[in-house]
Amino acid sequence: MTSAHPEPLQLPLPYPVYCRAGVRQTIGEIARLVAPSHRVAVISDSAVAPLHADAIVAQFPADSTRLFTVPPGEQVKTRATWAELTDALLEWGAGRDTTVIAVGGGVVGDLAGFVASTFMRGLPVVQVPTTLLAMVDASVGGKTAVDTPFGKNLVGAFHNPAAVVIDPEVLNTLPEDVLRSGFAEMIKHGVIADAPYFDAVLRYAHAVRDHGASAPDFAATITTLVIGSVRIKAEVVAEDTREGGLRQILNFGHTIAHAVERVLNFTLLHGDAVAIGMVAEARIAESIGLAREGLSLAIADAVERAGLPSRLPATIPLDDIIAATHGDKKAREGSARYALPRSIGEMEAAEGKWSVAVSNAVVKTALS
Q: Identify whether 330 is a catalytic site residue.
A: no
Closest contact distance (angstroms) between CB of 212 and ligand NAD is 12
Say which of 20, 52, 152, 233 is annotated catalytic: 233
Site string for ligand NAD, 260-299 (x = CB under 6 A): ----------xx----------------------------
Torsion of CA 182, 128, 21, 6, to 10 degrees: 140
Q: Identify whether 233 is a catalytic site residue.
A: yes
The closest alpha carbon to 94, from 158, 42, 162, 139, belongs to: 42
Q: Identify whether 251 is a catalytic site residue.
A: yes
The closest alpha carbon to 193, from 349, 302, 307, belongs to: 349
Closest contact distance (angstroms) between CB of 110 and ligand NAD is 5
Say which of 5, 91, 121, 265 is annotated catalytic: 121
Closest contact distance (angstroms) between CB of 306 and ligand NAD is 14
Residue 73 as a binder of ligand NAD (CB under 6 A): the answer is yes
Closest contact distance (angstroms) between CB of 250 and ligand NAD is 8
Closest contact distance (angstroms) between CB of 106 and ligand NAD is 2
SS (H, E, C) 132-190: HHHHHHHCCCCEEEEEECCEEEEEEEECCCCEEEECHHHHHHCCHHHHHHHHHHHHHHH
Q: Exposure of 54 by Cβ count < 10 A (0-12 exposed, 13-18 middle, 19+ buried)? A: middle
Site string for ligand NAD, 150-189 (x = CB under 6 A): --xx----------------x--xx---x--x--------
Among residues 143 and 283, whose Cβ is nearest to ligand NAD?
Answer: 143
Among 6, 16, 28, 106, which residue sits at the site for ligand NAD (rule: CB under 6 A)? 106
Q: What letter does residue 249 receive in the DSSP assignment?
A: G
The closest alpha carbon to 105, from 78, 81, 139, belongs to: 139
The closest alpha carbon to 315, from 366, 273, 263, 360, belongs to: 263
Among 54, 55, 72, 224, which residue sits at the site for ligand NAD (rule: CB under 6 A)? 72
User: Angle, to 10 degrees, between the axis of helix 176-193 and the axis of helix 295-305?
Assistant: 150
User: Angle, to 10 degrees, between the axis of helix 360-367 and the axis of helix 270-287?
Assistant: 110
Q: Specify whether the CB–CB gap between 306 and 180 falls below 8 A.
A: yes
Which DSSP string do the residues of 276-324 spell out, in sequence order?
HHHHHHHHHHHHTTSS-TTHHHHHHHHHHHTT---S--TTS-HHHHHHH
Ranges within 29-58 binding ligand NAD (CB under 6 A)? 45, 47-48, 51-52
Q: Identify whether 254 is a catalytic site residue.
A: yes
Closest contact distance (angstroms) between CB of 166 and ligand NAD is 12
Closest contact distance (angstroms) between CB of 156 and ligand NAD is 8
Residue type for 240, please? D
Ranges within 107-136 binding ligand NAD (CB under 6 A)? 107-108, 110, 130-131, 133-134
Q: Identify whether 247 is a catalytic site residue.
A: yes
Q: Identify whether 143 is a catalytic site residue.
A: yes
Neighbouring-strand partners of residue 129: 104
Say which of 24, 66, 209, 254 is annotated catalytic: 254
In Å, how far are 4, 69, 116, 314 from 234, measured between CA atoms? 26, 29, 21, 36
Say which of 209, 247, 262, 337 is annotated catalytic: 247
Q: Identify whether 185 is a catalytic site residue.
A: yes
Taking the C-alpha atoms of residue 312 and residue 276, their distance in angstroms, rounded to an integer, is 6
Say which of 24, 180, 189, 258 is annotated catalytic: 258
- What residue ranges bind ligand NAD (CB under 6 A)? 45, 47-48, 51-52, 72-74, 77, 104-108, 110, 130-131, 133-134, 137-138, 141, 143, 152-153, 170, 173-174, 178, 181, 270-271
Catalytic residues, by residue number, are: 121, 143, 185, 233, 243, 247, 251, 254, 258, 270
